[in-house]
Chains A and B, each alone.
Chain A
Amino acid sequence: GDSVTQMEGPVTLSEEAFLTINCTYTATGYPSLFWYVQYPGEGLQLLLKATKADDKGSNKGFEATYRKETTSFHLEKGSVQVSDSAVYFCALNQAGTALIFGKGTTLSVSS
């Protein structure tokens, strides 16, 4: 079945450092891809999405490009802030089905 694999954490960075969180997927057909963020004690929030190959999702300085050839959707940000500290989940879904999540990557940014 479909699955999502994302890099193990935690990821610890200093403020203004470059961030990459790797995400690869296995799926039949053409899934939609998402990154969700969960701040401490809160629910999930959609960060960005891409619905077809070569689409780039972006929001709040974060970007991810849907790469079908490498089945990847890596999350990047050029300069992280302390406020970006959270757990990031890569996810996919197909045609109205439930999301399938990766295991999450904890990001900790220090000043």
Chain B
Amino acid sequence: GAVVSQHPSRVICKSGTSVKIECRSLDFQATTMFWYRQFPKQSLMLMATSNEGSKATYEQGVEKDKFLINHASLTLSTLTVTSAHPEDSSFYICSVHRGRDSPLHFGNGTRLTVT
């Protein structure tokens, strides 16, 4: 069964509004979750590492004030795209790591369209 649940799967919002995406680890506690972004026909780029109980670690070039990450519990991390613009339209995917030699488990992704 699914290990990671990500919601919503699709969202359309107007420019200037904020959108929250949730990533839940369903059957284990995750101290670390990762957020990726995928542009059309391109690879996944790591945006940030979400650490439970502490501030997220952002990759170079990712605006932390625009992409707010909150990892409030061991099973939930949220990504909020603030003041969204059309260029933020993308596919956002979260993943959870279970252990050193275990693969990451991915959510099904969220297709964000900003009009």
> In the complex, A32 Cα to B97 Cα: how many Å?
13
Closest to B48 in A: A98
Q: Are B99 and A44 in contact (CB under 8 A)?
A: no
Main secondary structure of the interface of B (DSSP, over half): strand
Q: Are B99 and A45 in contact (CB under 8 A)?
A: no
Q: Are A96 and B42 in contact (CB under 8 A)?
A: no
Interface size on A, residues (CB 8 A): 22
Which of A21-29, A61-69, A73-81, A101-109 contacts the other chain? A101-109
Binding site for A on B (CB under 8 A): 6, 32, 34, 41-46, 49, 93, 95, 97, 99-101, 103-109
A-B contact pairs, 7 of them (CB 8 A): A42-B108, A43-B107, A51-B101, A89-B43, A99-B46, A100-B46, A103-B43
